[in-house]
Chain A
Amino acid sequence: MKRAFSMPGFAIGFCMAIVFVAAALLSFFWTPYATDGVDIVNKLRPPAAGNWFGTDQYGRDILSMLMVGARTSIAVAVVAVGIGMGLGVPLGLAAAAQKGSLIDEILMRGNDLVFAFPALLIAILITAVFGPSAVNAIIAIGIFNIPVFARLSRGAALSLWTRDFVLSARVAGKGALRISVEHILPNITNLLIVQGTIQFSLGILAEAALSYIGLGAQPPMPSWGRMLADSQTMISFAPHLALFPGAAIVLTVLGLNLMGDALRDLFDPKINRER
């Protein structure tokens, strides 16, 4: 961990990301203003001392909305990555343990199939059936994450299965399941953390996009994507409405990506040396 913080990319990315996590956590206890009231007198105020980021078309404080919106973005992305890892990693490990078997073949073809459905199409199908909501956005992004983690862990596990320490574990009489859990999984944790960081940032982008087109978080749940959708018709006379939620998304995603890249360099000594 100390080594990670000595890399400028990680340190900068971490600071950027932690600001938004902190804002989201803080919003549970305190926001500068309430986000559920309407204050028409103060609507569409530009940024000023009282409201640092201005107010929206209902007079709500943008900063407060952003803080609560961070909650939605982070929750959706975290759960979606959880679904992807929770289902994808066991599937990938199982496929690697049974390499070349029917299970492996079925799992990998299934993976290819999910890859043919971009997250947005999955979301469209799900919302067409169950109606738009933040939960359905989570499911859609989560399903999209499964093959990403399955493929990654299968590939990494396959190369580990040929190593001597796995062979000795087999000689010691351990079964495929125990070897996967006790020897393979700990050795691919680094890879999973890197990919998790990247999928996390992709999840935030996807949530914003889905909410923007109306397939994600529904009112009154504040969401960065929906704030942008609402701001679209007012952008020419109230640009601050679009500026701050967009900047929040960019900074969060940028921070996570910087962290992910730095971690990848840290965990992969080959890249470290060559680039």
Chain B
Amino acid sequence: MLIFTLKRLLSLGLSLIAASVVIFVVVEIIPGDPARLMLGINATQDAVDALRSQMGLDQGLLARYWLWVSGMLQGDFGISYTYRVPVVEMVQGRVWVSLPLALYALLLSTVIAFPIGIIAAAKRGSWADWLVMGGTQLGVAIPNFWFAMIMVNIFALKYQWFSPGGFPGWDDPALAVKALTLPAFVLALPQASILARVMRSALLDTLSEDFMRTARAKGRTAKGAMVHHALRNAMIPVLTIIGLQFSFLLAGAIIIEKVFFLPGLGSMIFTAITQRDLIVVESVVMLLVFAVILVTFLVDITYALVDPRLRRRP
């Protein structure tokens, strides 16, 4: 288990380095001088040069890459070109909207998908199964931002059960959770549909295994065999999907934030794009990619915990 973890850690590190190189190179392609951009068209060449050296722009490509990466490792994400405040400060306020939203959606997706998938598998071919299969097919096809607009129109504007948008902050956790509920539900729906289908087919696969018949033969009830044997063995594909979903939810949160006017990383990144505030784009994308890679790593470790057979896999 230790060697397995170390190997995964190594690959985590390599992925991070590769991702940072990709992001850095892509942003480096951009023509234009950030120092000139910050100071405006009327600045003297001396002032621009001074700022350039202050920002480290006069150094070589490798040196700048190292500056960027080593800065991030110490929690310094650079200074926004437009707002002249450290990117870290800008991120800090917003990450506590986007991250809880994605996690909340992940929770909802799992909570919705598990029972639905299990019922569909246990009662395969019944009307409940057909309903689940049809409903999930629809759930995958609906663009969640459109669904969000409809939900806002019905539950926020017409019935006023939820606020149509905005975020009150975490001072009152109950209010904050309430503000995130509708967005998280909308975000979770397509993922829950996928997860329920995966859950169903993974369970159907294990239900036909020999060990299930053995379990029944030694006197386990259908329910007991399902809970103790089938579910655990079906967890591998389900965990894979949950891990993959986190990255979709994190990216999806950026879109859903727009529908609900949530002050998360999404609105920040879009403002930064229109203002060509590249250091912000660069850092936020790196942060999101880091989150995705980290979750993949955690899922890999969880696999090995759930299924000891996988620990020997390279």
Contact residues of A with B, CB < 8 Å? 109, 112-113, 116-121, 124-129, 132, 201, 205, 208-209, 212-215, 225, 228, 231-232, 235-236, 239, 242, 245-246, 249-251, 253-254, 257-258, 261, 274-275
Contacts and interface: CB of A to CB of B under 8 A. Distances in A.
Given A242-B146, A254-B137, A212 B255 contact: yes
Contact of B273 (A120, A128, A249, A253): A128
B248 A118 contact: yes
B274 to A, nearest CB: 9
B interface, size bucket: 35 or more
27 contacts: A109-B14, A116-B15, A117-B22, A117-B292, A118-B251, A119-B251, A124-B281, A125-B26, A126-B26, A127-B273, A128-B27, A128-B276, A129-B26, A132-B273, A205-B143, A208-B146, A209-B255, A212-B145, A213-B254, A235-B153, A242-B149, A242-B153, A250-B142, A254-B137, A254-B138, A274-B204, A275-B204
A249 B26 contact: no
A16 B141 CA distance: 13
A81 B153 CA distance: 34
B281 A128 contact: yes
B149 A118 contact: no
A31 B157 CA distance: 35
B293 A116 contact: yes
Nearest to A120: B251
A235 B156 CA distance: 12
A53 to B, nearest CB: 16
B174 interface: no
A208 B204 contact: no
B255 A117 contact: no
A214 B266 CA distance: 12
Max chain B Cβ within 10 angstroms of own Cβ: one of A128, A129, A208, A235 = A128
B259 A232 contact: yes
Contact of A208 (B23, B30, B143, B276): B143
Contact of B145 (A113, A125, A209, A275): A209
Interface of B: 14-15, 18-19, 22-23, 26-27, 29-30, 124, 137-138, 140-143, 145-146, 149-150, 152-153, 157, 201, 204, 208, 247-248, 250-252, 254-255, 258-259, 266, 269-270, 272-273, 276, 278, 281, 285, 288-289, 292-293, 296
Majority secondary structure of chain B interface residues (helix, strand, loop or mixed): helix
A125 B250 CA distance: 16
Majority secondary structure of chain A interface residues (helix, strand, loop or mixed): helix
B140 A257 contact: yes
Nearest to A205: B143
Contacts of A245: 146
Given A113-B19, A117-B19, A209 B143 contact: yes
A213 B251 contact: no
A242 B259 CA distance: 13
